[in-house]
Structure 1
């Protein structure tokens, strides 16, 4: 038990849920091995979570249950930008032919709440529900550029982990880039969060000019580079973000 997780049983249940999610279906013995817990303890958590509809059992394996959909839908609907932005994100994916994403800011992190793939798009490195590193992604940097300085300081103080060899890990360099992003309302991710992928993002801000979300388009480097990235896709992303912002305000 720690200060971060004062209720040990709840922490363990969440560990079980995450392990089941990552395994895409797993049995008691394998789950106990992965979590370094006894089979009897794991079985109790599995039974409880299954009774609550958060897990589903098929044969000897457990999977995430559809009961999570109720929570996920309610969590997303809490953010007005989601309902406003969804049609625009879908159009952006259709027009660009790439992956269009809406990242929402919550409690110091960016979370992918909507994502649509264009007809020719490859599977992206992140999916709906994923939390993205604010310092390493176009959407995350866009959000940081439009948040108070103390929030940027907190991100820097927590450590700028190198996700790839191109990730910005120096605080001063990050702050300089954030100032440039704020001037242009555009941020780029040049293989900083996933090797072989690049993206461009623009912010959705509130009446105080603080970012509540970011809209981005991503694709493999052989498709997202040069004029396509710097001008064509960038123009689409900026206009889409501004349209969402206007509808929101």
Structure 2
């Protein structure tokens, strides 16, 4: 059955509304625990005041956002109740995985989970090689896909949803080494074809990371892990070695998934 012009327009508007909602939510999640003001949401999300208030009203009604005082907005009870314990549990379970990977490769290993359109680093382990790539700290959030683990996680998401995520993050990508939506789409395509991600660090020059998704017990990816190292250590052969190390370590330590 064909799609009418009216249906297509409604569909486009629905996508735009979703993008605006995700952008506002991500800004609140990435902000201070005391909350984010409307003027900051307007600036970060490039939205008008009326639009921000409409989005906030919906997020508050659904329990994803709450007021903190008169002027600040924070994550709501729905997120507070569901986020802390699972993330702590995932970090605890992935800790030994990262440690073993880091011991074998001698480089830093990281674990991230998805929060909306962002990746959230929940754990890392520092290796023994004299030069370590440690630009991502535990607790850091950044657009999903700009790092190796986040790119691997993005590639595990349905293509339509991944496209919405990239579009929602478009304005923020330039801050990561000049990343663009077009380049991220190309990296995503290559990751799907290859089966694992490889991307240069877009904050520090001459570094490279490789990553793979981590499946949950139901088979769907719930996290991703990566290893980052100076570019001169990341020949194609060594990239394959690291990917095989990550896969074998996951199989050994979490054989049934997280």
TM over 0.5: yes
Secondary structure of the corresponding residue to residue 233 of structure 2: coil
- Map 1:1-249 → 2, pairs under 5 A: 13-14=34-35, 75=84, 77-78=86-87, 80-120=89-129, 121-122=131-132, 124-160=134-170, 161-162=173-174, 163-165=176-178, 167=179, 169-171=180-182, 174-206=184-216, 209-228=219-238, 230-243=239-252, 246-248=255-257
Would you say the 8 A contact 1:139–1:202 is kept in 2? Answer: yes
Task: Could you tell me which runs of 5 or more consecutive residues in structure 2 were left unpaired when the two chains were aligned.
Answer: 1-20, 26-30, 37-79
Shift of 1:223: 2.0
Secondary structure of the corresponding residue to residue 113 of structure 2: strand
Per the normalisation by structure 2, the TM-score is: 0.60
Rg (Cα) greater in structure: 1
Aligned to 1:34: none
Question: Structure 1 pair 241/200, CA: closer, same or farther in 2 (3 Å)?
Answer: farther
Question: Structure 1 pair 95/212, CA: closer, same or farther in 2 (3 Å)?
Answer: same
Q: What is the CA–CA distance in structure 1 between the aligned matches of 2:218 and 2:161, rounded to whole Å?
A: 15
Task: Could you tell me which runs of 5 or more consecutive residues in structure 1 were left unpaired when the two chains were aligned.
Answer: 16-70
Per the normalisation by structure 1, the TM-score is: 0.62
RMSD: 3.3
Shift of 1:176: 4.7
CA displacement, residues 16-59 of structure 1 (integer Å, 9 cap, x when unaligned): xxxxxxxxxxxxxxxxxxxxxxxxxxxxxxxxxxxxxxxxxxxx
Shift of 1:182: 3.0
Q: What is the CA–CA distance in structure 2 between the aligned matches of 1:184 and 1:240, rounded to whole Å?
A: 20
CA displacement, residues 162-181 of structure 1 (integer Å, 9 cap, x when unaligned): 3114x3x234x544543442
Shift of 1:248: 2.7
> May I ask how many residue pairs the two structures share in their alignment?
184
Aligned to 2:41: none
Q: Which moved more, 1:207-216 or 1:94-103?
A: 207-216
Shift of 1:234: 2.2
Question: Structure 1 pair 105/244, CA: closer, same or farther in 2 (3 Å)?
Answer: farther
Q: What is the CA–CA distance in structure 2 between the aligned matches of 1:183 and 1:83, rounded to whole Å?
A: 31
Shift of 1:158: 1.6
Dislocated runs of 4+, deviation >6 Å = none
